[in-house]
Structure 1
Amino acid sequence: MTIYSCSLPLIPSGLVFPFFLFPLISHELGDILRYYNLSGKVKAVSTSHQKRVFPVEFYVETLSLSAVKVTDDKTKQEMEVQLSAHPRGVLISFLAEFEPMEEKTFTYEEQPALSQTLFTRTAWVGAERVRDIVNTYDPESYKLPYGLENDFFQIKWKVGEGITSFYNKKAEVEMCKSGLETFFTPVYERTEIRKGVYAERSLIGRNIRGLHAEQYQGDLTDVKILDHGPVFTKVELIFTLEGTYHSSVVIKMYRHLPKIEFSYRVAKTLSEDIESLYLPLSLNLPDAEVMIQNGGVTMRPGIDQLPGTNMEYYIADEGLVYRTKDQTILVNTFDTPLLYMGEMESHPILLCDNKEENNKRPVYSWIMNNTWETNFKMDLSGFSEFRYGVEIVEQETAEKDMESLSDNDKGVVTFICG
């Protein structure tokens, strides 16, 4: 199926796509480029080569939208919808199944606000609107300050202790590792400057840190419930972390998908020290193979590479894949292609010898560093956000699994068309 047919020049492979062309392409597909209508039509275009269920989201520029009805124009199915805040108005979210490369059109219509039941004969919320009472009327809200759960995953945390569990309910395995490898928990590393900013960097050699480097793990200090509805639940875990003014992980768990999206928000402070910021991506899956795609080529880090080459860090096209004998787990790194694998301390550098154990090393998303003397600024200060995703999929060939990882990277393109 042709996704678009417009008189635009083709972009040669390997060149960066000019983002200013996206409005032109979407307009050619039917985008009316006006998002303030409270009723209208939406087109969703799947970029996947597989039949899959994807989240579909679009926003309406309005101060208020109490309720909305979304209908699939082809099947006439009414979609289960969630409304949430958006920087430009109201975000409308739902799940839809797409055939490979399918375009779908949905009709959305503003609805009257749902009536609220005041008297439930059940004690489920206090006068101050805090939902902390165990009850059967709302059996979910009182659990949210302590964890998230759907049919596929269970995440537990405790203020002062951090993430205590990341459980795979389908495989019945605890995937959360301990120490600096704890999932969803940022790590900051600093090598103090003792001999000058340039001399200290030359002394680290093949390591990315000095002998006196120190590592700091985020300390979970607060939890905010951002959204809770029929499509997804979103919470923000707030950490105190050395080297940062603000540090938090926002987790979005879908109710009916084996999929979690999360992002790391950081306000980095200024320092001339040698610094790195990481987010652990290690899962407690001892029998799993870790695979990435590097330059379009699928490989197992530490195994499928030239003998005598670097094994400390890699560039991944879309993220990494854990392949067990029963499942495949996709980990997308949407904004951070650099992965670090190995010990979180200064150590002798082992070059690749193609042994199987090389593939079992801890994996971290290497978010920031000022290790190398390049044309980037020396400090890492400022506000940033980095997005990730975890999803369980049916195991296919390695090539199919990598295709699924790539599909997640592109997702579904949605725009208002009428």
Structure 2
Amino acid sequence: MKKKWKIYLIHHSHTDIGYTERQEKIERFHVDYIKRVIHILDDITTGKKPDWAGYKYTCENYWQVEQFLRSSTKEEQEKFEYYVHEGLIDISLTYLNLTELVDKDVLAKKLSDGRNYASRKKMKLNSAMTADINGYSWGYAETMYQNGITNFFSCLHTHHGMFPLYKKQTPFWWETPKGHKVLVWNGDHYQLGNEFMLLPNTNISYQIRDEFTGDWDKDQFEITEERVFRYVKNLETEGYPYLFVPAMISGVMTDNAPPNPRMMEIIHRFNEKHGEEIEFEVVTLNHFFEILRNETVDIPTYAGDWPDWWADGVGSTPAPTKIYRDAQRKYQLSKKLDPNMQLGNPSFFSEAEHQLMMYAEHTWGYSSSVGEPWNTLVNDLDYRKGAYAVNANSLISRNLDEVLANLGEESLQASREKYFKVINPHERPVTDYTKVHIKHWEDVDGEYFHFKRDGFIEVVDCQKNEILVSQVVMIPGGNDIEFKISLAAKEERLVIIRQIVEKPAGGTESNHAYRGNDGVSDLAPYPGCHQLKNHHVVETDHYRIIFNDTTGIEQMIAKATGANMIHPNAVHAPFTGVYEKTPITTDACQERRRMGRNRKGRITERDVAKLVAIDQVADGALYTTIKMEFALKGTNMYVVMLKVYKELPKIAVTVRIQKQNEWAPENLYIPLPFGDGQNHELYGEKSGSIFRPAIDQIPGSNIDFYLLQNGMVFKNKDQNLMVALKDNPLITLGTLAHHEIELSSERTQAKNKDLIYSWVMNNFWETNFKVDLSGFYEFDYQLYLSVDNETPEALIEKCQELNEGLITFAYNPKENEVK
């Protein structure tokens, strides 16, 4: 060891909101930690604690600072600002350690909060860090850059995850979707410094496995010396190009750790003895990046997505995640309908943003959720986590209600003429279906629906005086009337539901062969009749769907091209459930721990749903609905409702599940095996960035599963199939079998054309996932086919339009609004 090394320590407290304590208690902890840091620095600067000289502290995220500012005195805030300006306290401008569940608008808003605070206080901050989480959407990089964050330190945790580039402790330039660059340090675990035993009375070793692990009788300082020199020597052996290396360190080796200046005592002792060879220095996050940017070593550039290995936590809480996704749609609709924030309630809107961000925080439960699922604290934290989604939905629903009320929405009224306003909130023209609900006690022109439904009412476009094609279905509490309408971007239209003015003549029995006296329709097409209705085939202007008696959907032919939309290598039929269970041969936690990055064990038992009943439950002017009932292990009910529209190339699918309780590790998948397997390209979207899974990615990143926002597109040169994901954002790519985990590279790009599954449930993590997946669930998907040469961005925007739909509400028109 010929040259002097520097080890730069960055002292912080990793924020896990809910893993080690109640969420609100953790909030108090971090407020008190910052106050404690101020007292520590006071003692150092006044000479009271000379042994702690050199101590600095980095706030891991702006959320910590935000809570401190809300719960501190003016004097404490002024001291905090002073120490930030002096370079003794630093602020990472990330907001929290997040999953990819958060959308780009909420992310941008919360990152801007930190940026605005730093700008107001004239703090020269341009760096951010995260800890624990294992990836970030490509859009995250762009949003950081747009908020003045040009340096990013990633401290990944490789438990069920892995760092990218096949190597840690290395920098790279992350090129954003718009061509900007963020300097990234692809770092080690966020408590690497603790592994060097730099804090008194250390008795935990989590990452380093050596002969000292568990040997707490040996002198601690001797372990520090041995480990530090070994670590540096290994860097030299691996050809590490710098003479410095960063290491994050916590006050104690736990999450949500308190600050601890006593590290300085051991650091000073080490530097006095070994400072000519290796020297420790505590620095702030921003200072570290100043050091790095002054180096002359060439740094490579990579562009693309960095999929999060820990995004799958949402699959352990499918019910609140569905509520959260609904809140996200209402948030976007609120912005589209009220872009200037004049119609809604700003306090509802702002608090909804906060709740949306809190649910997207990466912690998915208490640390013993799997080992002790009965534990009171486990259940307390689970309900609190779900409450973020519920609160977000409630708040943004109230805001949207305010917006719609100011646009003329009427509350329930007796004997109201059935006028409705339809609004296209989107930036593009939309032709789609929307619906209104008529309560069971409401009349139409003085008559009640009872069992009349179709043939009783009609939907009229008041502006164009045109009858719109419609279909009625009875649901609990009344009837839904669905109709097709075309609207320009941002256009509003008035419709009325009325009794049919000119009732059609009664029908008579056809003389053509189509159904026997037994009432069964089971004839195949014959010359002169090509669209017979039966339980084997559904045929519209756009699709021909063929069913198998045991597996469900066998073929989905796009008439525009004649191509089967189902992947030629499909193992399972579309929407036919696949259930996995890994038997427990050790204990509930250990069985999960040894799964690594597979999310299942080698002995996983896999069951595929078997079709037990199929029935056509609706057939009208707008759509045909097929109900398929399946038998699937792990469930008491698995039903697929396939609604195939006739005039638009749209298919709406609802999967209804009654899930049983199981403590063993589980997964439940809904197959989406589309694409031709050769010529199609798969595009996805998250946090506003469009990317091709397994292609547009940082090398060495995850290619097994993804958390998407609005959906995905199977794009061919002659047709594009959009799949809008309404309730569940997780998809898997490739085989379901236990397998070697490949990391992204040029040779894995072919996986972009592999099989897709919607991953709706899992409970595989051994610590903090919700283990009980039982209950009733409903997951919605929409398929839409386009043969136009549209960009991936336009097609993904169509997925968002499908998820958000048109806005339709009861409305009493003014005199001049009706012709």
> Over residues 33-86 of structure 1, what are the superposed CA-to-partner deviations in whole Å (9 max), with x where a residue is unaligned?
217657421111112222121102011002642311211111111111211112
Aligned partner of 1:145 in structure 2 is: 535
User: What residue number does 2:642 align with?
Assistant: 251
Q: In structure 1, what residue type is equivalent to 2:800? A: S
1:350 corresponds to which residue? Answer: 742
Query: Once the 2 structures are TM-superposed, how far is the Cα of residue 374 of structure 1 from its aligned partner?
Result: 5.5
The structural deviation recorded for 1:96 is: 0.6
CA shift, 1:213, in A, is: 0.9
Query: Which deviates more from structure 2 when the two are superposed, residues 276-285 or residues 7-16?
Result: 7-16
Structure 1 window deviating more from structure 2 (139-148 vs 59-68): it is 139-148
The offset of 1:300, in angstroms, is 0.8
Q: 1:222 to 1:416 in 2, by over 3 A?
A: same
Separation (CA, whole Å) in 2 of partners of 1:250 and 1:38: 33
1:100 aligned partner, one-letter code: A
CA contact (8 A) 1:40 1:108 kept: yes
Q: Distance in 2 between matches of 1:327 and 1:141?
A: 23
Q: 1:364-401: CA deviations, max 9, x gaps?
A: 10011111246553121111010001101223122212
Query: Do the aligned partners of 1:82 and 1:92 also contact (CA within 8 Å) in 2?
Result: yes
Q: Secondary structure at the match of 1:144?
A: coil
CA distance in 1, matches of 2:543, 2:531: 17
Distance in 2 between residues matched to 1:289 and 1:36, nearest whole Å:
53
Distance in 2 separating the partners of 1:148 and 1:295? 37
Match of 2:774 in 1: 381
Partner residue of 2:801 out of 385, 407, 410? 407
* Runs (5+) with no aligned partner, structure 2: 1-334, 357-391, 442-447, 813-819
Give, in angstroms, the shift of residue 116 of structure 1: 4.1
Distance in 1 of aligned mates of 2:506 and 2:571: 46
RMSD value, Cα: 2.6
Q: Structure 1, residues 302-332: CA drift from partner, whole Å, max 9, x if none?
A: 1111111111111100111111112221101
Selected match of 1:50 from 425, 428, 436 = 428
How many Å apart are 1:144 and its aligned residue?
2.9
* Distance in structure 2 (CA, Å) of the matches to 1:396 and 1:134: 36
> Which residues of 2 match residues 12-91 of structure 1 at below 5 A?
15=354, 16=356, 18-34=396-412, 37=415, 39-62=417-440, 64-65=448-449, 66=452, 67-91=456-480
- Structure 2 counterpart of 1:101: 490
Q: Deviations over 1:183-227 (max 9, x none)?
A: 121111111111111000001011111001122111111112221
Flag the 1:159–1:8 CA change in 2: closer, same or farther, 3 A: same
Distance in 2 (CA, whole Å) between partners of 1:147 and 1:240 is 22
**AA partner of residue 433 (structure 2):** P
Q: Distance in 1 between matches of 2:415 and 2:571?
A: 48
What's the secondary structure of 1:365's corresponding residue? strand
1:70-123 per-position Cα deviation (integer Å, ceiling 9, x unaligned):
111111111112111122201111111111121111112134876643555667
- What secondary structure does 1:211 align onto? coil
2:550 paired with 1:160: yes
Give the aligned length.
416
Report what 1:191 is aligned to: 582
1:395 to 2:729 alignment: no
Q: Indicate the SS of the match to 1:201.
A: helix
Name 1:204's counterpart in structure 2: 595
Q: C-alpha distance in 1, partners of 2:344/2:780?
A: 33
- Give the Cα–Cα distance (whole angstroms) in 2 for the partners of residues 134 and 275 of structure 1: 41
Deviates more, 1:259-268 or 1:43-52: 43-52
- Tell me the secondary structure at the aligned position of residue 414 of structure 1: strand
Q: How far does the alpha carbon of each residue in 1:115-162 deviate from its partner, in whole angstroms, 9 at most, with x for none?
A: 6435556676566655557899xx799633112111211111122243
SS in 2 for 1:226: strand
Report if aligned partners of 2:424, 2:806 keep a CA contact under 8 Å in 1.
yes
Q: CA contact under 8 A between 2:344 and 2:400: conserved in structure 1?
A: no
Query: Structure 1 residue 181: deviation in Å?
Result: 3.7
Please report how far the alpha carbon of residue 174 of structure 1 lies from its aligned counterpart in structure 2 after TM superposition: 1.3
Specify the code of the residue in structure 2 equivalent to 1:307. P
Change in CA separation of 1:43 and 1:132 when aligned onto 2, cut-off 3 Å? same
Instruction: State the secondary structure of the residue aligned to 1:180.
Output: coil
* Greater Cα offset, 127-136 or 156-165: 127-136
Is 1:307 matched up with 2:641?
Answer: no
Q: Give per-residue Cα distances to partners, 1:263-322, cap 9 Å, x unaligned.
A: 111111111121111111121422111011121111111111111111111110011111
334-343 or 64-73: bigger deviation? 64-73
CA distance in structure 1 between the aligned counterparts of 2:777 and 2:440, rounded to whole angstroms: 27
In 2 relative to 1, CA 201–92 (structure 1 residues): closer, same or farther, beyond 3 Å? same
Alpha-carbon distance in structure 2 between the residues aligned to 1:142 and 1:214:
41
Aligned equivalents of 1:382 and 1:159: distance in 2? 28
Within 5 Å, which residues of 2 pair with 1:274-293? 274-285=665-676, 286-293=678-685
Q: Secondary structure at the match of 1:143?
A: coil
Is 1:323 aligned to residue 660 of structure 2?
no
Q: What letter is aligned with 1:407?
A: E
Identity of aligned residues (%): 27
Q: Note if contact 2:542-2:646 (Cα within 8 Å) is conserved in structure 1.
A: no
Q: TM-score, normalised by structure 2?
A: 0.48
Greater shift, 171-180 or 87-96, is seen at: 171-180
Which structure has more relative contact order (CA 8 Å, sep 6+)? It is 1
CA contact (8 A) 1:131 1:141 kept: no
Q: Give the 3-state SS of the residue equivalent to 1:404 in structure 2.
A: helix
**Do the aligned partners of residues 7 and 23 (structure 1) sit closer, same or farther apart at CA in structure 2, a change above 3 Å counting?**
closer
The 8 Å contact of residues 580 and 668 in structure 2, kept in 1 or not, is answered as yes
CA contact (8 A) 2:523 2:534 kept: no
Query: Structure 1 residues 83 and 146, CA, compared in 2 at 3 Å: closer, same or farther?
Result: same
CA contact (8 A) 2:589 2:767 kept: no
User: Which of 2, 6, 9 does residue 346 from structure 2 map onto?
Assistant: 9
Q: 1:198 to 1:255 in 2, by over 3 A?
A: same
Q: Residue 533 of structure 2: SS of its match in structure 1?
A: helix
Residue 656 of structure 2 contacts residue 778 of structure 2 at CA under 8 Å; is this kept in 1? yes
Distance 1:121 1:338, change over 3 A: closer
Change (3 A) 1:7 1:14: closer
Deviation at 1:358, TM superposition (A): 2.7
Superposed, 1:256-271 pairs within 5 Å as 256-271=647-662
How far residue 232 of structure 1 moved from its aligned partner, in angstroms, is 0.8
Which whole-Å CA distance do the structure 2 matches of 1:343 and 1:131 have between them?
Answer: 38
